[in-house]
């Protein structure tokens, strides 16, 4: 070890994704002294209000892209503070979740429609500046069928591979090339976890929030991706919950994310899961640390 701090970069599509996917893991590493940077690709300008008790902060509206962007910036700042992490906006515009049959076209200029190089360039530069040892993002399906989540995977994958190559994404006066050592995909909503929590809630005579989801995922026969890495994070669930609540326009404090009592969650599923997708160092899976193998290299 050179005494240099470890660095973790978590790349997400929208403000609030960092709080619902791997949030307790970022809080844990930050508490342990790792430098954690959450990267948010878009401003979340096309998210609808998903919390019926939401009232915009005074002086703010929520009726235009600009107004939403401003509110969601305030929410994001509070969430980052709750997690104890730094956060950076890439500045792209939310593509929205197209709905209907046929699906409507995506709005002009949005993140998902940009050429891959244009969408990846700011992240490549940020990787060279922040120099993460480990990056996290979503799997190629996005983990959720939102065009920005798929695109988020694409740009993070591209940045992981291109940031170390000084012949690519050349910027005048830009930072030196940097190769992250590991790339992970978030897998916080595995079927194993849904089933375990579902059974524990039914066993306790409570209504499980996961019944319909388990049924629809089973029916779609989506192949399960393999979690290689489980991080013990029960101590950090309170920080994760505070970060979720900070996204007041998106998260109902009495809704889905809070339907599982904390004691059941701690008892049945005290971890967050990741899939090791790429590694430039030798590792042995399963692992219980995103920096396994890195700590002695850095
Ligand atoms: Zn999202």
pLDDT of residue 128: 98
pLDDT at residue 45 is higher than 70: yes
Give the pLDDT confidence score for residue 2 in this predicted structure. 59
In which band, very low, low, confident or very high, does the pLDDT at 297 lie, cut at 50, 70 and 90?
low
Residue 172 Cα to ligand 1 midpoint, Å, equals: 32
State in Å: Cα 2 to ligand 1 middle: 37
- How many Å lie between the centroid of ligand 1 and the Cα of residue 39? 12
Residue 240 has pLDDT above 80, yes or no: yes
Q: How many CB atoms lie within 10 A of CB 219?
A: 8
More confident residue, 1 or 101: 101
Q: Calculate mean pLDDT across residues 51-57.
A: 93
**Single pTM value for the model:** 0.96
pLDDT for 221: 78
Residue 145 Cα, ligand 1 centroid: separation in angstroms? 10
Q: Is 17 annotated as a binding residue?
A: yes
3-class DSSP assignment, residue 282: coil
State in Å: Cα 17 to ligand 1 middle: 5
- 40 CA → ligand 1 middle, Å: 10
Give 276 Cα–ligand 1 centroid separation in angstroms: 21
Q: How far is the CA of 150 from the centre of ligand 1 (A)?
A: 10
297 Cα to the center of ligand 1, angstroms: 33
Whether the Cβ atoms of residue 18 and residue 233 lie closer than 8 Å to each other: no
Tally of residues, the chain? 298
Mean local confidence (pLDDT), 246-262: 93
CA of 153 to the centre of ligand 1 (A): 12
Query: Which residues have CB atoms below 5 A from the ion given as ligand 1?
Result: 13-14, 17
Q: How, if at all, do strands 134-137 and 182-186 pair? A: parallel
- Which segments of the chain are extended strands (E)? 7-12, 35-42, 86-92, 134-137, 182-186, 229-232, 271-279
Task: Confirm or deny that 14 is annotated as ligand binding.
Answer: yes
pLDDT mean over 24-37: 98
pLDDT confidence of residue 72:
97
pLDDT surpasses 90 at 202 = yes
| pLDDT (mean) for 188-216 | 93
In angstroms, rounded to a whole number, what is the distance separating the alpha carbons of residues 174 and 168? 12
Expressed in angstroms and rounded, the spacing between residue 114 Cα and the centre of ligand 1 is 17
Order of all β-strands in the sheet with 271-279: 86-92, 35-42, 7-12, 134-137, 182-186, 271-279, 229-232
Distance 212 CA to ligand 1 centre (A): 21
- Is pLDDT at 1 greater than 60 in this prediction? no
Q: Given this model, what pLDDT does residue 296 score?
A: 73
Do the Cβ atoms of 18 and 26 come closer than 8 Å? yes
Percent of the chain with pLDDT over 70: 99
- Using pLDDT thresholds of 50, 70 and 90, give the confidence band for residue 224: confident
Residue 29, pLDDT score: 98
CA 194 – CA 28 distance, rounded (Å): 23
Give me the domains of the chain, ranges plus CATH numbers: 7-190+225-279 (3.40.50.10320)
Average pLDDT over residues 174-183: 98
Q: What is the pLDDT of residues 86-138, one digit of tens each?
A: 999 999 999 999 999 999 999 999 999 999 999 999 999 999 999 999 999 99
Q: Separation of 103 CA from ligand 1 center, angstroms?
A: 18
Q: How far is the C-alpha of 284 from the C-alpha of 47, rounded, in Å?
A: 40
Neighbours of 109 (CB within 10 A): 10
pLDDT for position 298: 58
pLDDT score of 144: 81
């Amino acid at each position: 070890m050179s005494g240099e701090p470890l660095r973790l970069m978590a790349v997400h599509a929208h403000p609030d994704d960092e709080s619902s996917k791997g949030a307790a893991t970022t809080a844990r590493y930050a508490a342990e002294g790792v430098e954690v940077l959450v990267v948010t690709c878009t401003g979340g300008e096309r998210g609808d209000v998903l919390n019926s008790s939401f009232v915009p902060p005074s002086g703010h509206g929520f009726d235009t892209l600009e107004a939403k962007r401003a509110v969601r910036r305030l929410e994001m700042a509070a969430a980052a503070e709750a997690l104890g992490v730094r956060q950076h906006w890439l500045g792209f515009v939310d593509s929205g979740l197209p709905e209907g049959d046929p699906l409507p076209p995506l709005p002009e200029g949005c993140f998902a429609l940009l050429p891959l190089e244009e969408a990846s360039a700011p992240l490549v530069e940020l990787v060279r500046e922040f120099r993460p040892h480990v990056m996290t993002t979503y799997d190629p399906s996005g983990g959720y069928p939102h065009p920005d989540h798929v695109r988020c995977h694409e740009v993070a994958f591209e940045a992981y591979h291109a940031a170390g190559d000084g012949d690519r994404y050349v910027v005048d006066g830009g930072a030196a090339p940097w190769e992250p050592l590991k790339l992970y995909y978030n897998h916080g909503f595995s079927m194993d976890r849904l089933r375990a929590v579902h059974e524990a809630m039914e066993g306790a005579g409570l209504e499980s929030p996961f019944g319909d989801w388990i049924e629809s995922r089973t029916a779609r026969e989506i192949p399960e991706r393999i979690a290689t890495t489980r991080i013990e994070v029960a101590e950090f669930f309170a920080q994760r919950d505070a970060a979720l609540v900070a996204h007041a326009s998106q998260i109902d404090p009495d809704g889905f994310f809070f339907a599982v009592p904390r004691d059941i969650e701690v008892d049945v599923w005290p971890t967050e899961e990741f899939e090791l997708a790429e590694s430039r160092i030798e590792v042995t899976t399963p692992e219980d640390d995103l920096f396994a193998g890195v700590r002695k290299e850095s």
